[in-house]
Chain A
Amino acid sequence: MPSRWRPQKSVTLADGDRWEAARSMMSILQRLSQGSLRFVAALVLVGSIAACATPPQDPEDREAYEAANDPAQPVNEVIFEFNLIVDKVVLRPLARIYEFVLPDIARDGVRNFLNNLRTPVILANDLMQGEVDRAGETIGRFMINTATSGGVFDVAGEAGITFHEEDFGQTLAVWGADEGAYVMLPFLGPSNVRDAGGKIVDHVLDPLTWWGYNDDDWIAEKQGLIRGVTQAVDARSRNYKQIEDLEATSLDFYATVRSLYRQQRENLIRNGGKDQDAPMPGLGFDMNDPMDDPLETSAGGSDDRLESMGPQANLDGTAVN
């Protein structure tokens, strides 16, 4: 993910100098409080205060308001509009060019390569969730794909060990954390308090972050941005039609995206595929009749296939959605 902060040069936790480590952590926190994150935090705060003044009184409105779990909605909507403009002006044109220039097989190669680079973060989260089998799959995929093609071909996936996604937001959910209020992040798209915090942890967990910080090479320094943008462009190039359809058939695109984000995260947290009765995330309207929340989720499935359905592949981490 593109992010403006990087740990400072002086971070070397291995040298045993506690003072140095503490100072480095402080500098990381300082940097976190600068840049876009501070901007987001300020917006969310302003939004919450603005919204707190007006929780609806009408019982139905109130129920809808609470189910949406989006107290910063006025601010989120502004950021959403901003993201849509970024999508229109930058991301979509880039995606068109990318799609035009590269044949399908090359684009798959880009995606496979990027997925392979995410191995350490996915593995760490597999382990933190106690998913030993999935951790094994992650390691196996990395070794097979790296050894055979430097990560460009998904040889392991062809052999049946399919890619799966994990991040610290999901780990927090497995540990029992609530999603918290819905948040629309500038450039990064829909999120919530839990997942946005998870992004920061994932960033720190990622060895490439530290490589970028320890190496003066420009590609090392800009790797986070390059990866983030490439991933966004790649995902966008796979989703024109779906997003267009979605927007054309939606009376409230903002609410549609919020709903899809929530459902997609819920699927990812449950790691899909498991036949279990899981309540739909946070949206049980009490109807006191058989109309109410009927939906036991039944689906899930391989994360790798998300792009065949469309928008939700884009929901996680790109500008539009």
Chain B
Amino acid sequence: MFVVRRYTLVILLAGLVAVTAPEAGRASEEGAAAFVQDMAAKVVNSIADKSLSLAERQHRFRKLLHEGLDMEHVAGFVLGPYRRRVDPSDFAEFQEVLEEFIVQSYAWRFRDYAGQTLEVVSVRAAQRGREIVKSHILQPNGGPSLEVSWTLHKKAGDYKVIDIQVQGLSMMTTQRDEYVEFLRGENGRLQSLVEALRKQNKALAQQHSHQSS
């Protein structure tokens, strides 16, 4: 009697695990895919509007960055080994100019949005609880699609993007290799990088205001 009951319990438990395990996995995958699709929809609805002024477009883009990108993580990663010797106040400043750089580099591009749509192709789990959402950006005229993969992790329960790969080229890796090379030439002084980025941001801002006027 006792034995039977115990076995029943085991079988029940096993059944439960069998039922819940893939369910949980699927729910999480769906969460990641939904997150990417949701971000794409927000981009189309709020940033891609052709009538927006450059300043407004940048403002909305920045808001979406705060919502969807783990800036602290990205800023740390792109410093490579030099991250270890950075003091916190410098790092906070670096995060700010890096965010400004991303805004200056990318926000204006959405002016050229022409009806492209995002389709999630697959989601898979990666190391350290990360999930990689592979998507295709489809051209409205049926032109060649672009493969974009989003690496996500969870921060305080919310999904955040930590890398975007376009046709297999990682933006974060490319940025890191560039900054690490720069820092090596500057004896690892983060302030030099911050200053160079400031200058670059200014140049980009000028260039864009020129183009939009």
Contacts and interface: CB of A to CB of B under 8 A. Distances in A.
B182 A252 contact: yes
A251 B165 contact: no
Interface in A174-217: none
Nearest to B77: A291
A252 B178 contact: yes
A306 interface: yes
B197 A251 contact: yes
Interface string A270-290: 001001010010010111001
A209 to B, nearest CB: 30
Given A64-B181, A65-B184, A296-B132, A305 B167 contact: yes
Nearest to A68: B181
Contact of B149 (A67, A249, A298): A298
Interface in A287-321: 287, 290-291, 294-301, 304-306, 308-309, 312
Interface in B106-153: 122, 124, 126-128, 130, 132, 134, 143-149, 151
Contact of B124 (A63, A283, A298, A301): A298
Interface residues on B, range: 35 or more
Interface string B58-70: 0000000000000
Contact of A249 (B83, B151, B165, B204): B204
Contacts of A280: 170, 173
Contact of A259 (B130, B162, B177, B185): B177
Contact of A60 (B85, B105, B127, B172): B85
Contacts of A304: 144
Interface string B88-100: 0000000000000
B202 interface: no
B210 interface: no
A225 B118 CA distance: 41
B90 to A, nearest CB: 15
Contacts of B177: 68, 255-256, 258-259, 283
A64 B181 CA distance: 7
Given A249-B204, A305-B146, A312-B167, A61 B188 contact: yes
B154 interface: no
Contacts of B134: 275, 298-299
A130 interface: no
Interface stretch (A21-29, A35-43, A80-88, A260-268): A260-268
A318 to B, nearest CB: 17
A105 interface: no
Contacts of A63: 80-81
B175 to A, nearest CB: 9
Given A60-B81, A280-B173, A291-B83, A309 B166 contact: yes
Among B77, B84, B176, B181, residue most surrounded by chain A Cβ atoms (within 10 Å): B181
Interface of B: 73, 76-77, 80-85, 101, 105, 122, 124, 126-128, 130, 132, 134, 143-149, 151, 162-163, 165-170, 172-174, 176-185, 187-188, 193, 196-197, 200, 203-204, 207
Q: Which 7 A-B pairs have the closest CB atoms?
A: A255-B181, A259-B177, A267-B168, A299-B168, A298-B132, A298-B149, A301-B147
